[in-house]
Each structure stands twice: as structure tokens, then as C-alpha cells.
């Protein structure tokens, strides 16, 4: 029997659980349920990350000790998950004694392998990030994340020889295209590896400065760096090195957001390699939930409480919305208007309507008994093929973490079922007294509805159960959870007439339409007006660009003098004391990276450009800007006051010619 192991990040306990944490944990829950529905034995690990400076300071702020502080916030996470329909197998805390013991074992193993050394180190330490910054990484002397002045600390510390494993990691990622997915994050990690800026990892903190951590087994004056400790939860949580769960479930898959790509994409695989352990199967990376295009933050007062939303709109509607609305890997905007709109169109109109139409007709025409199937018409065959195709798509898309597309493809079936009802017009068959065909039509609809309800179980477990119940069926839940290992939902493809027993009920719509509250309507209208005004301004600008800036024609020979190339951004940082300038290192397929200075700092965040492809004028004569030699120019597209970076629609080899 194959197995599936999924993890979420273990969350810091210095913030209360919010929409972002809920999203990752709900997605992991649906992945786990999806694999259970394929007959796999599953294990789902989540928990809290409780060591480090930040925690000590947060505890101090409210006048308590670190242990009481972490106990109380960790409890909030642990008690929230069941309310969101999440079933995890273990909730790990980095203060759990078994985890602490295993971290020490792991450290000792890496130390014994000769991959940990002692050295002197000076760096700018930001407590917000719990990490050291080099001079180059600071922006005007400040931490680029928190815009606070880091403390310069010179001290002796232990280092993990990460650099030793970087060439191996690069090759591994190149040879395993979906190891880190979606592809854009794989490219980002590759760009970090190609940038040549990664060094060995400082993995200790002297106890004189911080004692809230796990003691190093080979030097009791030091505690372990919080990230090194935290990442090990992924194996300590399944009882590494010799527990049954570890041998059954490792290697597994991780799910994280883009903020913690580097520790998961680089630190963790090299740590595993050094300890002689197999590395994980997949790192699944998702984007950020934004609130009206901005980050959620306590100070903006826009933090979304998932328990409130689940309570207000129903848990399953909330889960459905999260998976359907965010294309996996990209950012998405959360708003209650969007949730209500999705609820009304997908759940009330398409799905709810389908069930209430079919089941009320079945109640009316057959007294709710399950009608027998009949001869298959051409239209029936088309529908059956579509149902099989939707299920096939469901398995392949959901299995490759494309949840929104998977749901969209399932909804194609739901909508096709509604259209089939309109075409077959059971009410006319009834009037004509054609009971055999009437029964066959309703029966086929119900067979397809059963398949849909079964597929939906990972995303909307309660709804799936209720829909099946309305069809007089039961959910093979105990089987889906692996106690009957031979059950595999994929065996339903191409198989019909499985509904042999049970009495369909007359149904009520599970998703009655929601009214949009007046204040949300007004907010949506205001947003629409702003978008319209912006669009008009852009159109106007475009006209201006075309009329005012058209230049005289050049000959083809002149055009050919330009060497235009596609480049991959290896690194990008702000030029100190220059508001507008960014310094790029760009791979143009040459032996050395190009250094290019570009005046676009007010339009882009440097960290968002790393890994992206840009178009470059490669043979522009070098120019010196603020003392830095710039060897080319990055092309931008102007749109009024904003800029975007033109790039090929899919990745091409660095240095590809533009012609």
C-alpha cells in the first residue's frame, strides 16, 4: 500500500492564527484527504515553532515567561484546526521533549559527519527575521524586511557546511523538474543557487545572548538556530530515526508559502543530504492572500479571522472558496464580496440547483425511489464520456497541486449536467408518459452526481457526505481513511450503475443564495469605479504614447545592429543612497553574469525579480552609473506612471535571441 505524508509550516507563536495559516493548513488537509481517497495510507503533520528571540521578546512584552506564552498561543492554533474541518495526525511543538531530543541527535550526526565547524563571524542581526544580514543585503543600513536598524554582532558560532552540498542540490533540482513546484519557485531557487551568494549557515546562538532554544549536544554554551531546529520537525514528527511512521512515510511532501522558500528549498535538502537521509519528494509553494491588494497586517487592521468567516458563510463554502479562488502559486485577493459571488454562482446556482432539481423531480415522478437505468442514447454517452474525462482531470490536476483548475474542471461536469436536464426536459417525458426514458435520464444524472460528490470530499467533506446522503448513498469514509486499503476512487472512472441500493431523498438546496450586504455592495461599486477610471487613464496614456512618441522609421539593417536577448535575473538589490536604481546580475548565457544598473527601483521589489526573465539590450555600450559599470539595458513597458517588464510567455534558455 502506498503512503502519503504532508506537512504544513510549523507556525510561529508570536501571532494569532489568521487566514494565511488557515489556507496552508486547509490545503494540506485537502491533499491528505485526496490521497486517502486514492487508497493511500496518509499522515498529516502540523504544529508550532516556539524557540528563538522573537518569542522571548513577545513573552517579555506581556510580562510572562516564554513557556507560558508559547503554551497559550500554541493552544489557539491547536484548537482552531478542528473547527476548520482539519484532521491532522500529529500536532508537533518544537518544545516537545521528543522533538528536542531528535534535534540534538540530528546535530550530532551532521557534526560527526564533519559538516559543522566553529568559526568567528560578524554580521548585522535582525531579531524580527532571526537572521544575520551582510552589509550588501541591508538597505540604507536597515533590514529590508522590517526597516529597522539591525544590531552588529561579532561572535564565535557554529556553522553548517551548506556550501559543500550546493552543487549537488543544483544538479538534483535540474534533474527533477517537479521537485519544487510550481515552476516559478523552482526557477527562483535555481537562481539563488546560480547567484553564487550563498554561504555556510550559522546554526548556533551563544546562550549568553539567547537561552530559549535547544542546546547543542557538542557545546553546552550554545543553543541551536531556530530554523535548523524547526525544519527537523518534519522528521522528528514521524519518529525519526527508527519509528514505524518514519519508515512508512518518509520521504513526504511539504507545503509552504513563498516567504519561506529559501529555508525549505535550500537549507532543508542540504541538511538532509548531510545527515545521509533521503530528501523530500516535493516542495509545494503557494502565494500570498492579500486584502485589497495589500498585505494582511495587524497595524493595518485587516487581518482576517478564519473562524469568523467559516462561521459566517459555512465551513465548506469557505474551504471551497480558498481552493477555487487562488491559482496555486500566485497571490490572490480575499474579500467577502468575492466569496459571496463565488458562493452564489458555483455553489447555489450550479451545484445546489443541480441537486435540488434532480432530487425534487425524482421525488415527484418516482416517489423518491431510485429508477433503473435504461438504454444509453448518444447524448447519454457524451455525458458519460465527459464525466469520465472530468474525473481523470480531477485526479491529474489535484494530484499536481492545481486545485483551482481541478475544481474548475469538475464544475464543467456540474454545468454540463444542468444543461443535460434542459435538453432532456424530464417534465416533457413525464407528460408524454415515457417513464422508462424519464427514469433512465434521472438515474444517469444521479450516477454522475454521485461521482461529483465523491470527488468533492477532500475539499468539502461535510457537503460531500450530505450530497451523498441526499442520493441515498453513504460516504466510504472509513475506507477513504485507509482502513479498507483496496478502495480507490479512481476505480469509479468508466464504471456505471454503482448505485444499487439506497433511496434518494427529496432535497433542499444546501446552498441557498446569499444576499450581498449593502456595505459590501458599496465597497465593490467604489472599487469598480476606481478600476474603470484607472483603465481610462491607461487608455488615454496609451494614445499619448502612440501619437506623441512615434519615432522615425529605421532600416532593417539599423535594427539588426541591436543585440536583444532574454536574460534570467540571478540577483537584484537596491543601489545604496539611490532611490531609483537597482543593481542586477543577469544570466545572458555567457560565461559570466552581466551587471546591469536600471532606474526602476520605484516600481519593483528587488526580491520579486530574482528568478524572472527580462529582455535586455545586450550590446549597449557600457556606462558608469553612480560609480557602477552597467553592461546593458533592461527593457520595460510603460503604462502611464507604472512600469512592467516584458518577458517570454514561458521560460527560455538564458541568452535566447529576441528577433
Query: Which sign does the torsion angle of CA 457, 459, 461, 466 carry?
Result: negative
Catalytic residue among 109, 129, 164, 207: 129
Residue 126 is a catalytic residue: yes
Separation CA 52–CA 66 (nearest Å): 10
Among 10, 339, 387, 467, binds ligand MSP (CB under 6 A): 10
Q: Does residue 21 carry a catalytic annotation? A: yes
* 295 in catalytic set: yes
Cell triple for 653: 534558455
Comparison of 129 and 633: residue with beta carbon closer to ligand MSP: 129
Q: Counting contacts by CB under 6 A, is residue 404 touching ligand MSP?
A: no
Among 83, 149, 176, 295, the active-site one is 295
Establish whether 146 is a catalytic residue: yes
Q: Which is nearer to ligand MSP, 197 or 296 (CB)?
A: 296
List C-alpha distances in Å: 387 to 272, 408, 466. Answer: 43, 13, 21
Buried residues in 376-394 as b, exposed as e (16+ CB within 10 A): eeeebeebbebbbebbebb
| Catalytic (active site) residue 572 | no
Query: What does the per-residue mask of binding to ligand MSP show for 20-59, with x meaning CB under 6 A?
Result: xx-xx------------------------x----------
Residue 18 annotated among the catalytic residues of the structure: yes
Alpha-carbon Rg for the chain, nearest whole angstrom, is 28
Of the pair 294, 396, the CB lying nearest ligand MSP is at: 294
- Residue 257 or 348: the one with the smaller Cβ distance to ligand MSP is 257
User: Is residue 82 exposed (0-12), middle (13-18) or buried (19+ Cβ within 10 Å)?
Assistant: exposed
Q: Which is nearer to ligand MSP, 22 or 593 (CB)?
A: 22
Quick one: which of 296, 307, 625, 633 contacts ligand MSP (CB under 6 A)?
Answer: 296
Marked catalytic residue, from 35, 54, 99, 143: 143
Least Cα distance to 130 among 233, 24, 14 occurs for 14
Dist CA 31 CA 399 (whole Å): 8
Q: Residue ranges of the alpha helices (H) in 18-175? A: 19-37, 53-61, 66-83, 97-112, 166-175
471: its cell numbers: 442520493
CA 253, CA 249: separation in Å to the nearest integer?
10
Active-site annotation holder among 176, 298, 535, 539: 298
> Least CB distance from residue 54 to ligand MSP, whole Å?
10
Q: How many CA atoms lie within 13 A of 26 on its CB side?
A: 30
Q: How far is the CB of 355 from ligand MSP (least distance, A)?
A: 32
3-state secondary structure 459-476: CCHHHHHHHHHHCCCCCC
Q: Which of 61, 83, 136, 146 is catalytic?
A: 146
Interface pick for ligand MSP out of 5, 6, 9, 636 (rule CB under 6 A): 9
Is the CB of 160 or the CB of 457 nearer to ligand MSP?
160
CB nearer to ligand MSP: give 11 or 43: 11
Site string for ligand MSP, 215-254 (x = CB under 6 A): ---------------xx-x---------------------
Cα–Cα distances (Å) from 176 to 172, 282, 371, 380, 399, in that order, read 6, 10, 51, 42, 17
CB atoms inside a 10 Å sphere around CB 168 = 12
Task: Give the integer Cα–Cα distance in Å for 354 and 356.
Answer: 6
**Region from 198-206, 207-215, 256-264, 462-470 binding ligand MSP, contact rule CB under 6 A:** 256-264
Is 266 in contact with 192 (CB distance < 8 Å)?
A: yes
Stretch that binds ligand MSP, among 288-296, 352-360, 490-498, 630-638 (CB under 6 A): 288-296
Residue nearest to ligand MSP as judged by C-beta position:
20
Minimum distance between the CB of residue 39 and ligand MSP, rounded to whole angstroms?
A: 28
Taking alpha carbons only, the member of 76, 61, 67, 64 closest to residue 11 is 76
Taking the complex as a whole, the smallest distance from the CB of residue 9 to ligand MSP amounts, in Å, to 4
**DSSP element (H, E) containing 8:** strand 3-12
Stretch that binds ligand MSP, among 15-23, 117-125, 160-168, 471-479 (CB under 6 A): 15-23
Minimum distance of ligand MSP from residue 82's CB (angstroms):
19
Is 659 marked active-site?
Answer: no
Looking at the Cβ atoms of 21 and 405, the one nearer to ligand MSP is 21
Strand pairing class (613-617; 633-634): antiparallel
408: which 3 cell numbers? 474548475
Q: How far apart are CA 89 and CA 146, in angstroms?
A: 35
d(CA 91, CA 330): 28
State the nearest-atom distance from the C-beta of 394 to ligand MSP, in Å.
24
User: 39: closest CA among 89, 2, 7?
Assistant: 2
Show the cell assigned to 42. Answer: 496518509
99 is catalytic: no
Could you please report the per-residue DSSP string of 381-408?
A: HHHHHHHHHHHHHHHHHHHTT-HHHHHH
Specify the residue, 11 or 158, whose C-beta has the smaller distance to ligand MSP: 11
> How many residues sit in the footprint of ligand MSP (CB under 6 A)?
19
Task: Please answer whether residues 463 and 494 qualify as being in contact, where contact means their C-beta atoms are separated by less than 8 angstroms.
Answer: no
Q: Give the nearest distance from C-beta 254 to ligand MSP in angstroms.
A: 8
Nearer to ligand MSP, 11 or 403 (CB): 11
Footprint of ligand MSP on 257-286 (CB under 6 A): 257, 259-260
- From 12, 77, 246, 365, residue interacting with ligand MSP (rule: CB under 6 A): 12
Tell which positions 590-619 bind ligand MSP, by CB under 6 A: none
Q: Provide the 3-class DSSP secondary structure of residue 121.
A: strand
CB-nearer residue toward ligand MSP: 296 or 633: 296
CA–CA gap between residue 284 and residue 207 (Å, rounded): 35
Which of 143, 256, 467, 510 contacts ligand MSP by CB under 6 A? Answer: 256
Interface residue with ligand MSP among 4, 125, 249, 289 (CB under 6 A) is 289
Instruction: State which of residues 288, 411, 481, 604 lies at the interface with ligand MSP (CB under 6 A).
Output: 288
CB of 51 to ligand MSP, least distance (A): 10
> Which 3 state secondary structure label does DSSP give 519?
helix
Residue closer to ligand MSP by CB (options 20, 371) is 20
Which of 88, 86, 105, 89 lies closest to 97, judged by CA?
105
With contacts defined by CB under 6 A, name the span among 5-13, 198-206, 276-284, 506-514 that binds ligand MSP: 5-13
- Give catalytic residue positions: 18, 21, 126, 129, 143, 146, 295, 298
Q: Which residue ranges make up the site for ligand MSP (CB under 6 A)?
A: 9-12, 20-21, 23-24, 49, 230-231, 233, 256-257, 259-260, 288-289, 296
Amino acid at each position: 500500500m502506498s503512503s502519503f505524508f504532508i506537512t504544513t509550516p510549523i507556525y510561529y507563536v508570536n501571532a494569532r492564527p489568521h487566514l494565511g495559516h488557515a489556507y496552508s493548513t486547509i490545503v494540506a488537509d485537502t491533499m491528505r484527504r485526496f490521497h486517502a481517497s486514492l487508497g493511500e495510507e496518509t499522515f498529516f503533520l502540523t504544529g508550532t515553532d516556539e524557540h528563538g528571540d522573537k518569542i522571548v521578546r513577545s513573552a517579555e512584552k506581556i510580562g510572562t515567561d516564554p513557556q507560558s506564552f508559547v503554551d497559550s498561543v500554541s493552544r489557539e492554533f491547536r484548537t482552531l484546526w478542528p473547527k476548520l474541518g482539519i484532521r491532522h495526525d500529529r500536532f508537533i511543538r518544537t518544545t516537545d521533549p521528543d522533538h528536542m531530543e531528535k534535534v540534538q541527535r540530528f546535530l550530532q550526526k551532521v557534526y560527526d559527519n564533519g559538516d559543522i565547524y566553529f568559526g568567528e563571524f560578524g554580521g548585522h542581526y535582525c531579531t524580527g527575521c532571526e537572521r544575520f544580514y551582510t552589509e550588501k543585503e541591508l538597505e540604507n543600513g536597515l533590514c529590508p524586511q522590517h526597516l529597522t536598524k539591525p544590531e552588529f554582532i561579532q561572535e564565535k558560532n557554529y556553522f553548517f557546511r551548506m556550501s559543500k552540498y550546493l552543487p549537488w542540490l543544483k544538479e538534483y533540482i535540474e534533474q527533477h523538474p517537479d521537485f519544487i513546484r510550481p515552476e516559478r519557485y523552482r526557477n527562483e531557487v535555481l537562481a539563488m543557487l546560480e547567484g553564487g551568494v550563498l554561504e555556510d549557515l550559522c546554526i548556533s546562538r551563544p546562550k549568553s545572548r539567547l537561552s530559549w532554544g535547544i542546546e547543542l549536544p557538542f557545546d553546552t554554551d550554545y543553543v541551536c538556530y531556530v530554523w535548523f531546529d524547526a525544519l527537523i520537525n518534519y522528521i522528528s514528527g514521524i519518529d525519526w530515526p527508527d519509528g514505524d511512521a518514519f519508515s512508512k512515510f518518509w520521504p513526504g511532501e511539504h507545503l509552504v508559502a513563498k516567504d519561506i522558500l529559501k529555508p525549505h528549498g535550500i537549507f532543508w535538502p542540504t541538511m538532509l543530504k548531510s545527515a545521509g537521509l533521503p530528501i523530500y519528494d516535493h516542495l509545494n509553494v503557494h502565494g500570498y492572500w492579500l486584502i485589497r491588494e495589500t498585505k494582511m497586517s495587524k497595524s493595518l487592521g485587516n487581518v482576517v479571522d478564519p473562524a469568523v468567516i467559516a462561521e459566517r458563510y459555512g465551513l465548506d463554502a469557505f474551504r471551497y472558496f480558498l481552493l477555487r479562488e487562488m491559482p496555486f502559486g500566485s497571490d490572490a485577493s480575499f474579500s467577502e464580496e468575492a466569496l459571496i459571488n463565488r458562493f452564489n454562482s458555483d455553489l447555489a446556482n450550479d451545484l445546489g440547483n443541480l441537486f435540488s432539481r434532480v432530487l425534487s423531480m425524482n421525488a415527484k415522478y418516482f416517489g423518491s425511489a431510485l429508477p433503473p437505468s435504461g438504454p444509453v442514447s448518444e447524448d447519454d454517452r457524451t455525458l458519460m464520456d465527459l464525466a469520465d474525462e472530468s474525473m481523470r482531470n480531477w485526479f491529474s490536476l489535484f494530484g499536481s497541486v492545481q486545485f483551482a483548475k481541478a475544481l474548475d474542471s469538475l464544475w464543467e461536469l456540474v454545468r454540463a449536467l444542468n444543461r443535460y436536464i434542459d435538453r432532456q426536459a424530464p417534465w416533457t417525458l413525464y407528460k408524454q408518459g415515457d417513464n422508462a426514458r424519464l427514469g433512465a435520464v434521472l438515474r444517469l444524472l444521479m450516477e454522475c452526481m454521485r461521482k461529483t460528490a465523491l470527488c468533492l470530499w477532500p475539499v468539502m467533506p461535510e457537503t460531500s457526505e450530505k450530497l451523498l446522503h441526499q442520493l441515498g448513498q453513504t460516504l466510504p469514509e472509513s475506507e477513504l481513511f485507509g482502513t479498507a486499503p483496496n478502495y480507490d476512487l479512481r476505480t469509479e472512472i468508466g464504471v456505471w450503475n454503482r448505485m444499487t441500493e439506497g433511496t434518494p431523498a427529496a432535497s433542499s438546496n444546501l446552498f441557498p443564495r446569499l444576499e450581498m450586504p449593502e456595505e459590501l455592495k458599496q465597497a465593490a461599486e467604489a472599487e469598480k469605479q476606481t478600476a474603470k477610471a484607472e483603465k481610462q487613464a491607461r487608455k488615454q496614456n496609451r494614445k499619448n504614447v502612440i501619437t506623441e512618441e512615434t519615432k522615425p522609421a529605421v532600416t532593417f539593417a539599423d535594427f539588426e545592429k541591436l543585440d536583444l536577448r532574454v536574460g534570467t535575473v540571478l540577483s537584484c538589490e537596491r543601489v545604496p543612497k539611490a532611490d531609483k536604481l537597482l543593481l542586477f546580475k543577469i544570466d545572458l548565457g555567457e560565461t559570466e553574469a552581466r551587471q546591469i544598473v536600471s532606474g526602476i527601483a520605484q516600481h519593483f521589489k528587488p526580491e520579486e525579480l530574482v528568478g524572472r526573465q527580462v529582455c535586455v539590450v545586450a550590446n549597449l555600450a557600457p556606462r558608469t552609473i553612480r560609480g557602477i559599470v552597467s553592461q546593458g539595458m533592461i527593457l520595460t513597458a510603460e503604462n502611464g506612471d507604472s512600469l512592467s517588464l516584458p518577458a517570454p510567455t514561458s521560460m527560455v534558455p538564458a541568452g535566447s535571441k529576441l528577433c
